[in-house]
Structure 1
Amino acid sequence: MSNGPWTDAENDLIVADYFAMLADDIAGRPYSKAKHRRALLPLLNGRSESSVEFKHQNISAVLKGFGEAWIPGYKSAFNFQMSLADAVARWLALNPGWLERLPDAQPSMGLREAASLWVGSAPTLSNQPPPQELEQMLHIARKFDVAGRDERNRALGRAGEERVLMHERATLQAAGRGDLSRKVRWVSQEDGDGAGYDIASFAQDGRPRLIEVKTTNGWERTPFHITRNELAVADERRSEWCLFRLWNFAREPRAFELYPPLDAHVSLTATTFQASFN
């Protein structure tokens, strides 16, 4: 049995195998991990079944760093080599449709009601992963610009905003505020970007809720981009503005909300600079 480092070719093979299982898992199709493992073994350099099993767990950890879904049956195992992250990046580059996927059943604008989203607590220091695990995931997110990828994914952003629009309307309707539900506006679609928020909604008592939506297919700690204008509006309208973070979107959308000041919840890092001539 080989105990040496996995080659790029081996990593590419096992990553492709993992994504094949992941696609079945997300779609609810039956598959056999043991069957996949047995089919993969002859293609590798004398790896043991336990080695393959552990590498699949490594891939789960890598995918968390990429802000992507993973197979729950393969518990994330960290301390992986970055060559495995490179293999995942190669697979994603060869399969761009994967990053553009959306949930099979998106609420339609023609529906009168949509189920409310699960909205839980935001990540905190008290519930963060062990430091070494968190650093590995954040390193991947920085190296492969996961936040920028999600920001550039227009289809993902639009679908997330639509889902939150339906959530706000359904929540108000369920609270007996159909009058307010009918007034909820999709500002970014109706007026264009630039307002500093995407959805103009209401609290049940009628107070305005200005909602900036950030969507990812990844876990709740996936980094995201926020603009200078969004931060300015958050500061100017603190009592009304909130950031609605929608995560695990392609599989089972979940959410949490953040309220100004944002730097009380997240670390804000400047990633671009404006250059001007004197």
Structure 2
Amino acid sequence: MPGEIDLIVADYFAMLGLELRGEPFIKAQRNAALQGLTGRSKGSIEFKHQNISAVLLRLGIPWIVGYKPMANFQKALVDGVERFLDARPTFIESDLLTIAPQFAESGTIFLEPAPQPSTGQSDSPAFVERLVRKFDPAARDASNRALGRRGEERAFFSEQVVLRANGRDDLARKVRWVSVEDGDGAGYDIRSFDPSGAERLIEVKTTTGHKTTPFYLSENERALSEEQPDAFRLVRLYDFAHELRGFELLPPLADSILLRPLNWTASFG
């Protein structure tokens, strides 16, 4: 019933907020309170919390550590998540950044191996896919200028730190935050170097979501990756609201990610 579902969903997001702010809470106590309100068992409530984590995974939203996503999608629960997000339109656009921990500007970003591309075929039910289209994580991240700027800032400082650690203070001083200094449109955000002096043209894509959260790639960025494959690097930063992590993609990008055209330009010649 919607009443029970809304209580469970609200409790999940309350715990998520506490976790992202670093505030303590006891899952067992909150579960016990929900048992009293809903009449459900401890296991049933935990299972629904794992189901919510699976929905958030698809939406590119952080989930609660300890509630590993369990993709047994139930429409009533998905509808409950939708009602919660509809009632809080700023939650996944700005609130997550507000409650996110502040990362040290001077730290190095450890770049881990990139995920392997899948076949691109989703086995999620149609009602889940509809919800994903409604709260499109790629479109959301692309329009969130504050998130994008913070990600670029972290990558900018990380590039300098790496060069200095390799004894290349001269190159560290030459690293440029191109998207800020010159504006967007170059096809990359940061001009840097590797310790040997080879140029690195870095496009940064940032999300509060997970490793496999989709992102937008402009035609200018894609074209540059083909024109300058030795220099172009796509740095994907994820889990920005929880624990900053990232990986790097090298051209040809089609070997690492599935690229699909989204729009067509209509002209008369």
> Are 2:199 and 1:208 aligned?
yes
> Which residue identity lines up with residue 34 of structure 2 in the other structure?
L
Unmatched tracts of structure 1, length 5 or more: 1-6, 109-113
Retained in 2: the 8 A contact 1:219–1:248?
Answer: yes
- Per-residue CA distance 1:161-205 (angstroms, 9 max, x = gap): 001001111111111111111111111111111000001110111
Equivalent residue of 1:136, what SS?
coil
Retained in 2: the 8 A contact 1:172–1:178?
Answer: yes
Matches within 5 A, 1:74-113: 74-95=67-88, 96-100=90-94, 101-102=96-97, 103-108=100-105
In structure 2, C-alpha distance between the alignment counterparts of 1:177 and 1:156, rounded to whole Å: 29
Cα separation, partners in 2 of 1:239 and 1:116, compared to 1, 3 Å:
same
1:71 to 59, 64, 71: 64
- The residue number in structure 2 matching 1:55 is 48
The alpha-carbon deviation at position 55 of structure 1 amounts to: 0.3
- Per-residue CA distance 1:23-47 (angstroms, 9 max, x = gap): 1122222111122122223433x42
- The residue number in structure 1 matching 2:242 is 251
- The residue number in structure 1 matching 2:255 is 264
> Are 2:114 and 1:122 aligned?
yes
Cα separation, partners in 2 of 1:179 and 1:62, compared to 1, 3 Å:
same
In structure 2, C-alpha distance between the alignment counterparts of 1:9 and 1:251, rounded to whole Å: 29
> Are 2:141 and 1:144 aligned?
no
> Which residue identity lines up with residue 52 of structure 2 in the other structure?
I
The alpha-carbon deviation at position 97 of structure 1 amounts to: 3.9
Q: How many residues align?
A: 262
Cα separation, partners in 2 of 1:131 and 1:184, compared to 1, 3 Å:
closer
- Per-residue CA distance 1:190-235 (angstroms, 9 max, x = gap): 1111000001110111111000000011111000000111101111
In structure 1, C-alpha distance between the alignment counterparts of 2:155 and 2:76, rounded to whole Å: 37
The alpha-carbon deviation at position 104 of structure 1 amounts to: 2.6
The alpha-carbon deviation at position 62 of structure 1 amounts to: 1.1
- Aligned-CA RMSD value: 2.3
The alpha-carbon deviation at position 131 of structure 1 amounts to: 9.5
Retained in 2: the 8 A contact 1:147–1:222?
Answer: yes
> Which residue identity lines up with residue 11 of structure 2 in the other structure?
D
In structure 1, C-alpha distance between the alignment counterparts of 2:224 and 2:141, rounded to whole Å: 22
The alpha-carbon deviation at position 68 of structure 1 amounts to: 1.2
The alpha-carbon deviation at position 142 of structure 1 amounts to: 4.3
- The residue number in structure 1 matching 2:12 is 18
- The residue number in structure 2 matching 1:3 is none
Retained in 1: the 8 A contact 2:61–2:92?
Answer: no
Give the % identical residues.
49
Retained in 2: the 8 A contact 1:141–1:223?
Answer: no
- The residue number in structure 1 matching 2:2 is 8
Equivalent residue of 1:257, what SS?
strand
Matches within 5 A, 1:141-220: 141-142=132-133, 144-220=135-211
- Per-residue CA distance 1:116-172 (angstroms, 9 max, x = gap): 0121000015xx7x999x643994544531111111111111110001001111111
Equivalent residue of 1:211, what SS?
strand
> Are 2:34 and 1:40 aligned?
yes
